[in-house]
Amino acid sequence: MAPESRTVETNLSRVLSSGGFAVTGELGPPKGADPAVVRDKARLLRGSVDAVNITDNQTAVVRMSSIAAAALARDEGLEPVVQMTTRDRNRLAIQADLLGAWALGLRNVLCLTGDHQTFGNHPTAKNVWDIDSIQLVKLLAEMRDQGVFANGEALEGDPPRFFVGAVESPFADPVAYRPFRVAKKVRAGAEFLQTQCIYNMEKFREFMARLGDLGVLDKVHVMAGLSPLKGPGMAKYMRDNVPGIDMPDEVVERMTAAGAGIDDKAERQKAWRAEGIRLCVEQIQQVREIPGVAGVHVMAIEWEEAVRPIVEGAGLLPRPEPLGAAAEG
């Protein structure tokens, strides 16, 4: 259970602190300005998750602003978690944008470093990183608890009291350092933590045990990140190319086997996807058994329709009745 904090209650914080097993999803805003794209994705997720992360220029590709998309999703009855990276904005812009997010009724923020801009679609851009993700957590915690800006100056009126989240990649190098980094984020004021996608349950169990040793599990709600696989290609790509992903060969083999002997391309794809959903359901059941895991963060990127069957298959429906769309502030 997280300690008493001055955070305003959000749907997500309420489910987590009531000891319920929370479910969050992910919604990537479009590479364009059409609000209908956000609304459609939001409708696919509504009722299956307690809150949904709205990504912030994910993989350094320009997309609709996370705060604007979060407001659209909120209007569709979803509770957003606004992702904020420190790649694109300095401390002035971050604070200004988050004051605006609060004014719009958005209450959860997830603090991230962000992928380097050379990966994205504007690789010649200048980056910012005026502050890092841990400093951002601390900034928001101080805004919440002391009503001050990063410079220590009091802000006018009631300060934003966001439910502050952080992320960790349990298997990224240097691996032994990762639990220590979680402890640092908790010390900075993180109240919930979402992890990078987990496929190696054995190692994840060890990671969680280490967090227990460090005494942080009673201070932060840890949500295991899970991402359903669309096929063996995705599994191999993640195994070989994505830092911090520990993809056991059994998983790749299982996905490959699911399509074996099916000649029709569409049928094969269907079989893969069904297997991906089944695997994800099993993973949820496995992480639920691990002490300290308070929920799952299901990242079905460009596959939002997978979330309902996954959550349903894991026996996690119906979700607790959400708080009013616009939380009281």
Partner 1 sequence: MIVAEQKPVAKILEMAAGAQTALVLGCGTCVTVCFAGGDKEAEILASALRMKARLDGRELDAAHLTVQRQCEWEYLDTAADRIRQADVVVSLGCGVGAQAIVERFPEARMVPGLDTRFYGLPTRHGVWEERCAGCGDCVLDYTDGICPVARCSKSLLNGPCGGSHDGKCEVDDAIPCAWHEIVERLTSRGELERLAEVHEPKNWRAARDGGPGRIVREDLVRDAQDGAGT
Which spans of this chain sit near partner 1 (rule: CB under 8 A)? 87, 91, 113, 115-116, 118-119, 127, 129-135, 138-139, 150, 167-169, 172-174, 176-177, 180-181, 183-184, 187-188, 196, 243-244
**Token pair recorded at residue 235:** 């599994």
Closer Cβ to partner 1, 45 or 137, answer by number: 137
Give the whole-angstrom CA distance, residue 138 versus residue 254. Answer: 42
Closer Cβ to partner 1, 36 or 176, answer by number: 176
**Residue ranges of the alpha helices (H) in 227-306?**
232-241, 249-259, 265-288
φ, ψ of residue 24 in degrees (nearest 5): -120, 155
> Which one-letter amino acid corresponds to residue 267?
E
Q: Token match 């009126």: residue? A: 157
Least distance from C-beta 133 to partner 1, angstroms?
8
Give the whole-angstrom CA distance, residue 6 versus residue 76. Answer: 27
Closer Cβ to partner 1, 106 or 150, answer by number: 150
Closer Cβ to partner 1, 75 or 130, answer by number: 130
CB 251 within 8 A of CB 235: yes
Least distance from C-beta 117 to partner 1, angstroms?
10
Least distance from C-beta 177 to partner 1, angstroms?
5
Closer Cβ to partner 1, 151 or 321, answer by number: 151
311-322 burial code (b ≥16 CB/10 A, e <16): bebbebeebeeb
* Preceding amide of 174 cis, omega within 30: yes
**Full 3-state SS string of 166-206:** EEECCCCCCHHHHHHHHHHHHHHCCCEEEEEECCCHHHHHH
Least distance from C-beta 257 to partner 1, angstroms?
28
Closer Cβ to partner 1, 144 or 273, answer by number: 144
Cα within 13 Å of Cα(14), Cβ side: 15
